[in-house]
Amino acid sequence: MPKPSASAKRRSVGAVRASFAPWADPGAVPLIRVASVTKRFGDAVAVDDLSLDIYGGEFFCLLGPSGCGKTTLMRMIAGFEQPDTGTLTLAGQNLAGVPPYRRPVNMMFQSYALFPHMSVERNIAFGLRQDRLPKDEIAARVAEMLRLVQLEGLAGRRPDQLSGGQRQRVALARALAKRPKVLLLDEPLAALDKKLREETQFELMDIQHELGMTFIVVTHDQEEAMTMADRIAVMDRGRIVQVATPGEIYEQPKTRFIAEFVGDVNIIEGQVAGQEAGLWRVAASPAGAPLTIDDPDEVLHSGQAVAIAVRPEKMVIQREPFPAGRPNVLTGTVWDIGYLGDWTVYRVKLDTGAIMRVSRANASRFVEAPIDWDERVSIAFAPDAAVILSR
Amino acid sequence: MRGPAQPLGARLASALVPVVPYLWLGLFFLVPFLIVLKISLSDAAVAQPPYAPVFDWADWRGFIEGLDLENFELLLSDSLYFDATLSSLRIAAVSTGLLLLVGYPIAYAMARAPVSWRPVLIALVILPFWTSFLIRIYAWVAILKPEGFLNQALMGLGLLSEPLDILNTEAAVFIGIVYAYLPFMVLPLYAALEKLDPSLTEAALDLGSTPLRAFWQITVPLSWPGIVAGSLLCFIPAVGEFVIPDLLGGSETLMIGRQLWSEFFSNRDWPLASAVAILLLLILVVPIVIYRDIEARRLEARP
Amino acid sequence: MTARRFSLFNATSLALGFAFLYLPILLLVVYSFNDSRLVTVWGGFSTRWYGALIQNEPLMEAAWITVRIAFVSAALATVLGTLAALALTRYGRFPGRRLFTGMVYAPMVMPEVITGLALLLFFVAVNLDRGFWTVSLAHTTLTLCFVTVVVQARLVSFDRSLEEAAMDLGAPPLRTFLFVTLPLIAPSVIAGFLLAFTLSLDDLVLASFNTGPGATTLPIRIYSQVRLGLSPEVNAASTILVGIVAFGVVTATILSKRSVLRSRRNAH
């Protein structure tokens, strides 16, 4: 439970306030429960004593660099690998020994894996035929799926006659046709170009919301995860580092790994110099005076070495020095400027040699006397704009 | 444990997949060889079948005593078999060398041909193989005879006054083996050469090498797996070849395959024939194992 | 790999190579229409040998038996060879795998005189009457290895995720194999069947060792005739065979080329 902070009002992390949060409800039962699962391939440990709860109706994301074990975990849920130790439970049923063709889980493959010798219609109907549904019911379901992914009229085509984006929709339709309890998506947007990727992201979210299904997406692309997910599990080397909403992951990273993996960040190292009125004082060499950080959830002692994370957009940059008494002020010279149209990114070399990234929205079209290369600038950030990283 | 979970019934059924061919090969390939071994240690008998019984369950002690190395002693003492073995190895080796000489340029040209031609070229190389082996050898009889097509052509063109005596000599056997086994040399070579990156040769030329040197130092070594596979695929069966020396070779063309055949069919000495088979097998076991290893490694090398 | 300078040397090699391969066959075909009984002397155009061929009862009978044997052994070999290919590519390290690989690849290179003798001795030992079935079993054992090689080459490059997708959608392994894997490897399986068929059709040595009364195959008959001297009817038979095979191979090539072009045009 968070300790009472200096401010009495409840603060919401991140800019978006989610009203859907079954994980916070103590009475909710998770749909999928992963309990102490380990999986080894020879000497390499792919998944290391991992535990996770996923709730029904979630758009869940497994995020991490390649080799972190996210794909292995997904394949274990699908049934293509079996855990060496631990249990996997789906809707209360233990999945041990249950083959993939008997699980109420369907997967959308990264390569789409469309059957090249079957038409779109037969691809989508394949799963339904295995269940021996009556013909007219199959036909109705296939038509419904085609409408859902906006591919009506292409039922008779073969996969090699479709574009990449169309093939992806067929793969999605095929995986949804059986109304599985859980849909697994393996890097669903990896093969699409940027424009298509953005559109598809929102479409996936719409479909998931409309059908009320649980989606689990495996991806290495943090933008994808941040956009689509209700919750993200960041994985590294077979373990889960943090499970939280995108907002919490971005604004309250638990470790340095997460702070650096998701988005850009400035890391400042220092030592705790004490606590004053609920705010931590940290002596850090890049700054003149010790920094003032508002992070009430941390328990620290004097002299402890800490790392502070500040996102570039939370910093203020200006030419004129700040008035005295303003907390968390750093000074340096502009080393690099990146103009991105909507944002400008400044890389500032502090007097100590460290480089800080500061980004600022270009909120107006015309700027008088813009900051230039090699200018002396001052940077400041608010006490609650920084996070103290525990590791 | 790798792979998906499977119920017991499915696992048993899937075990059948390797088991069925395994049993077949064990029964029809392995067991016969054990029998050949046993027969080679037996005595000939004037009976039908012309050897002492394979295995007498009741009298197994007497059975063991009945085995002897008589046939092998005969093989080793009679210089005929020694000569035939040496001659077979020699002919097979020379033929394999010729096959490399003839097959390499063909495979090389195929690998350099425009991509759209290649299926056609492969089909053209394979097509003779689909027609009867026996008949193609028979065609060479017609060509190489003194009155045959070759001599007719050469004499007709005035290049010869007297017909060449090629048929019934070793030279005819060489031609026959090269002709019959050519697809077996060309295809593995082509497979290896086709994978070769042409920019490697270009890099060599760019660095100052002559085309000939680039060929010897880059192309040939990199196509080595194909050379080895093709050579083994031709050499091993050629050692035991029967039809070609019988139809095209003369009485002085000694090949161990012919010996085996005549021991069996003409002399009706099955144990001796078995001993010859064992002898031939012993000679070839090393190349066969090498070939098996190459193929098995190729299988595992793929992802 | 892009094709580079297809030089004159390359073109000459190909031309000479194919001339070497096809000249004998061409001569056979041409002289099958030779009116003279002397195979190597041209006596005018005639189709009499085709007529004589049809009336040559022993030869026709032998041809019919050979085709039946080839069909039976090729069918068996295709099933066994495909199973063996699956075992080699899908089953990882199972006990006895080295021996299995050896038994699969050895018959490919083993001189036929050895395998022929071995199988005959086996059939005698188990008291199996020699004839149609012993030849068929012998041919199956030899040709299944070739089928394995052909099918295994295709299986190795087969996209396993298609099978996983099928299982994920509810198809148990057998149905996955029948409806997804098999249709896609079918061309290789068929090629394997044709290969086994041809090898059986063509085989002299194994058949000679393992045949019995009433099962004289065409190669055996041709061989005994050829030893006595060249025969024009054999020319005619070989021309027919060449014609059939050429037609088959050309059709197969055209069909496969067309399907490759079609899929290349459609894929982006």
For A170-211, give the secondary structure using H, E and C: HHHHHHHCCCCCEEEEECCCCCCCHHHHHHHHHHHHHHHHHH
| H or E element that contains A360 | strand A355-361
Q: Which residues of B touch C80 (CB under 8 A)?
A: 20-21, 24
- Residue B128 pLDDT: 83
Which of A72, A76, A81 would you mutate first to test chain B, the one with the most B CBs within 10 A? A81
What is the tens place of the pLDDT at every residue in B2-14?
A: 677 778 877 888 8
Closest CA–CA distance from residue A11 to any residue of chain C (Å): 44
Q: How many CB atoms neighbour CB A289 within 10 A?
A: 14
| H or E element that contains A256 | helix A256-261
Least confident of A258-272, A287-301, B96-110: A287-301
Q: Report the amino acid identity of residue C145.
A: C
| H or E element that contains A122 | helix A120-130
pLDDT at A3 over 60: no
What is the tens place of the pLDDT at every residue in A164-175?
A: 889 999 999 999
Closest CA–CA distance from residue C124 to any residue of chain B (Å): 7
| H or E element that contains A74 | helix A70-78
Q: Of the candidates C32, C22, C79, which has an alpha carbon nearest to the alpha carbon of residue C52?
A: C32
Residue C268's pLDDT band, with cuts at 50, 70 and 90, is very low
| H or E element that contains A135 | helix A135-148
State the average pLDDT over residues A138-158.
Answer: 93
State the average pLDDT over residues B62-88.
Answer: 78
In our burial notation (b when 16+ CB lie closer than 10 A, e otherwise), range A235-268 reads bbebbbbbbbbbbbbbbbbbbbbbbebbbebbeb
| H or E element that contains A388 | strand A386-389
pLDDT at A16 over 60: no
Sign for the pseudo-dihedral over CA of C237, C242, C247, C251: positive
pLDDT at A363 over 50: yes
Residues 73-92 of B with CB under 8 A from C: none
State how far the alpha carbon of C162 is from the alpha carbons of A110, A123, B79, B127, C165, in Å. 11, 11, 61, 34, 5
Q: Of the candidates A269, A228, A263, which has an alpha carbon nearest to the alpha carbon of residue A245?
A: A228
Q: Of the candidates C85, C66, C87, which has an alpha carbon nearest to the alpha carbon of residue C150?
A: C85
Contact (CB, 8 A) for C216 and C204? no
Closest CA–CA distance from residue B302 to any residue of chain A (Å): 19
- Bigger pLDDT: A296 vs A137: A137
State how far the alpha carbon of B168 is from the alpha carbons of B171, B246, C41, C111, in Å. 8, 9, 21, 22
State how far the alpha carbon of B294 is from the alpha carbons of A317, B93, C95, C100, in Å. 67, 20, 20, 15
Q: Report the amino acid identity of residue B74.
A: L
- Omega of the bond prior to C183 within 30 degrees of 0, cis? no
Q: How does the average pLDDT of chain B come out, rounded?
A: 83
List phi, psi (to 5°) of A268: -115, 130
d(Cα C23, Cα B214) in Å, to the nearest integer?
34
What is the tens place of the pLDDT at every residue in C72-99?
A: 999 999 999 999 999 998 887 788 888 8
Least confident of A28-37, A151-160, B226-235, C55-64: C55-64
pLDDT at A8 over 50: no
Q: How does the average pLDDT of chain A come out, rounded?
A: 89
pLDDT at A7 over 50: no
Q: Which of B106, B194, B299 sits opposite C88 (nearest CB)?
A: B299
CB contact (8 A) between residue C86 and residue B17: yes
The residue whose two tokens read 């098999």 is C182
pLDDT at A336 over 80: yes
Q: How does the average pLDDT of chain C come out, rounded?
A: 84
Residue B162's pLDDT band, with cuts at 50, 70 and 90, is confident
With helix as H, strand as E and coil as C, how does A277-345 read? CCEEEEECCCCCCCEEECCCCCCCCCCCEEEEEECHHHEEEECCCCCCCCCCEEEEEEEEEEECCCEEE
- Residue B56 pLDDT: 53
Does the beta carbon of A96 lie under 8 angstroms from any beta carbon of chain B? yes
Contact (CB, 8 A) for A147 and A124? no
- Residue B8 pLDDT: 81
pLDDT at B27 over 80: yes
The residue whose two tokens read 């093989």 is B75
List phi, psi (to 5°) of A58: -80, 150
State the average pLDDT over residues C22-32.
Answer: 83
- Bigger pLDDT: B295 vs A64: A64
State the average pLDDT over residues C17-44.
Answer: 79
CB contact (8 A) between residue C253 and residue B119: yes
For residue B34, the chain C residue with the least C-alpha distance is C118
Helices of type H across chain C: 8-31, 48-55, 57-90, 97-109, 112-125, 132-156, 160-168, 173-176, 182-202, 205-210, 218-228, 232-266
Q: Of the candidates B216, B225, B189, B219, which has an alpha carbon nearest to the alpha carbon of residue B201?
A: B219
Q: Judging by DSSP bridges, how do beta strands A59-63 and A214-219 pair with one another?
A: parallel
Sign for the pseudo-dihedral over CA of A125, A126, A128, A132: positive
Largest CA distance in chain B: 80
- Bigger pLDDT: C136 vs B34: C136
Residue C149, C-beta contacts closer than 8 angstroms, at least 6 positions apart: B295, C85, C105, C108
Contact (CB, 8 A) for A62 and A32? no
- Residue A11 pLDDT: 56
Closest CA–CA distance from residue C111 to any residue of chain B (Å): 4
Q: Of the candidates C136, C115, C94, which has an alpha carbon nearest to the alpha carbon of residue B288?
A: C115
CB contact (8 A) between residue C170 and residue A131: yes
Does the beta carbon of C19 lie under 8 angstroms from any beta carbon of chain B? no
Residue B176 exposure: Cα atoms within 13 Å on the Cβ side? 33
Closest CA–CA distance from residue C55 to any residue of chain B (Å): 20
CB contact (8 A) between residue B3 and residue A80: yes
CB contact (8 A) between residue C101 and residue B296: yes
- Residue B181 pLDDT: 92
- Residue A375 pLDDT: 93
Residue B136, C-beta contacts closer than 8 angstroms, at least 6 positions apart: B128, B179, B180, C24, C25
Q: Check if the interface score ipTM surpasses 0.90.
A: no
What is the tens place of the pLDDT at every residue in C213-258?
A: 888 998 888 888 877 766 777 778 778 877 877 787 777 777 766 7
What is the tens place of the pLDDT at every residue in A228-245?
A: 999 999 999 999 999 999
Please give the DSSP secondary-structure letter assigned to residue C129: P
Chains with 3 or more CB pairs under 8 A to chain B: A, C
For residue C175, the chain A residue with the least C-alpha distance is A130
Which residues pair with residue A87 across a beta bridge?
A: A35
What is the tens place of the pLDDT at every residue in B194-240?
A: 888 888 888 888 888 888 888 888 888 888 888 999 999 999 999 98
pLDDT at A278 over 80: no
pLDDT at C3 over 80: no
Chains with 3 or more CB pairs under 8 A to chain A: B, C
Does the beta carbon of C266 lie under 8 angstroms from any beta carbon of chain A? yes
